[in-house]
Amino acid sequence: MELLDDIEFLRHETQDPLELLQSKYREAAGQLSETGKDFWRSVTSWIDSLQVNADQSALPLPILRLVSTQVAKEGTFLHFLRSGPDRNVGRALPRMEEVATDADGPGTTADDRALFMELTTAQRHKLVTAMVVDDGAPVMSDVDRSLAKELGITPSEHAGAVLDEIKGWWYRVAVRLLERKDPTYMLASVSAEELLCRRDEAVDRYTGKSLPITQTLRNLTEAEMAPYRNRLVVSQMQWIGLPDTEIAMHLRDYHYARAQRSEWLRSFKVTADGLDAYERDLHYEWESVFRRRTRRVDDATSEAARQDIGQDVLDGTMERVADKSARPGTSTAPWIGRGSIHDLCDRTEYVGSDRAVGWHPDHPRLCKDHIEAADQ
């Protein structure tokens, strides 16, 4: 936003502009003026952004769209630039040039009109051919109804709450799109798929659905388990004395949960933010079990007792996370939660932070030693 225009739509592959959009809001009803600032300031913006008279002259122009709550009067060049059967660039351009060169035109747009006429005849034709006027856009009081219709949100007692969630998310996206100082917070663009996924997430909070399961569970082969042998997730289970057969069972959940969550992200069944919220819910369930099971551990507690406590923490956590839904309002297969909590156990970047997860009462120290040994 505000990089090239009020809103720009980019080509996914090259990030070249596919459409530049100028948004003009006027609460009072009225006609869109041929000499008004709304249109001619937009023309100047488009000329500046696209450098039509310089290095961009050989490239096809993106759609240059003016969205206005006002209405283009029939017979004006603005009316001939609307999409639909009345669109006629051949009639719009001469009239636009006539208005641009009118000595009696308002001074507020004189510089903008003069800039347009500084273009060559071919450049003016190319520019005007790319323009589209979308007049009669909804005013603020109509936006919710129009937005709900475009997003396919059916009228219901929850429709307002769903829209509020989507608009709140869009506000946060807009802030990140405008960010220029913090690279870690900056967002280059947002996809239509993510918008629709956000819609589905919001709707599902109230209607309830099941996320699609594309993974088929089976026992892992030795070759599939081999990459996990030196991983933190396996060490965490070995520290509490789990036998290899049970470790293999947990690794199966971990392996397929990772694959399923990755598929959901790729296919926009969940968003990265939604998945992060899910993981925080899982962490909360683990912490609730861990604090209760380990509160009586002290220096006199034997290692055998500590391992038993760790196994109790693991079993209690598995029961609690199995019922957690990966997206609020949906039902989720139990092995997704069980496998996802093992994924958190495997995150070396969480060691020493408030997001760390482990089974053994001394897992913070053991995890730190594990990482240091691996580094050596």
State mean pLDDT over 180-205: 86
- What value, to the nearest 5°, has the Cα angle with vertex 33 and ends 20 and 2? 25
The answer to the question of residue 327 being in a domain is yes
Residue 61 lies in a domain: yes
Global pTM reads: 0.55
Residues 234 and 329 in one domain: yes
Report which of residues 136 and 240 the model is more confident about.
240
**Residue 212 maps to a domain:** no
In this prediction, residue 332 carries a pLDDT of 86
- The pLDDT tens digits for 269-291 are 888 999 999 999 999 999 999 99
Last residue of a domain, one of 87, 118, 137: 137
In a domain, 269, yes or no: yes
pLDDT score of 126 more than 50: yes
Instruction: Choose between 326 and 29: higher pLDDT.
Output: 326
Question: Domain range spanning residue 28?
Answer: 7-137
pLDDT of residue 211: 78
Q: How many structural domains compose the chain?
A: 3
Mean pLDDT (whole number) for 223-233: 93
- 312 and 242 share one domain: yes
For every residue of 275-322, DSSP letters joined together read HHHHHHHHHHHHHHHHHHHHTT--TT--HHHHHHHHHHHHHHHHHHHT
Please say if the pLDDT value at position 314 is more than 50.
yes
Q: Where are the alpha helices (DSSP H) in 131-243?
A: 140-151, 159-178, 192-207, 222-225, 232-238
Do 229 and 363 sit in the same domain of this protein?
A: yes
Give the closest residue to 166 by CA, choosing from 209, 208, 137, 205: 205
Residue 199 located in a structural domain: yes
**Do 326 and 345 belong to one domain?**
yes
* Whether residue 52 has pLDDT greater than 50: no
Residues 196 and 127 grouped into a single domain: no
Report d(CA 96, CA 79) in Å as an integer: 11
Q: Do 340 and 226 fall within a single domain? A: yes
Q: What is the mean pLDDT of residues 48-66?
A: 70
Q: 166 with 54, same domain?
A: no
Residue 1 is predicted with a pLDDT of 39
Both 108 and 196 in one domain: the answer is no
Q: Which helix (H) or strand (E) holds 19?
A: strand 17-24
8 in helix, strand or coil?
A: strand
In angstroms, the CA 225 to CA 244 distance is: 11
**C-beta separation of 102 from 88 below 8 A:** no
Whether residues 109 and 16 share a domain: the answer is yes
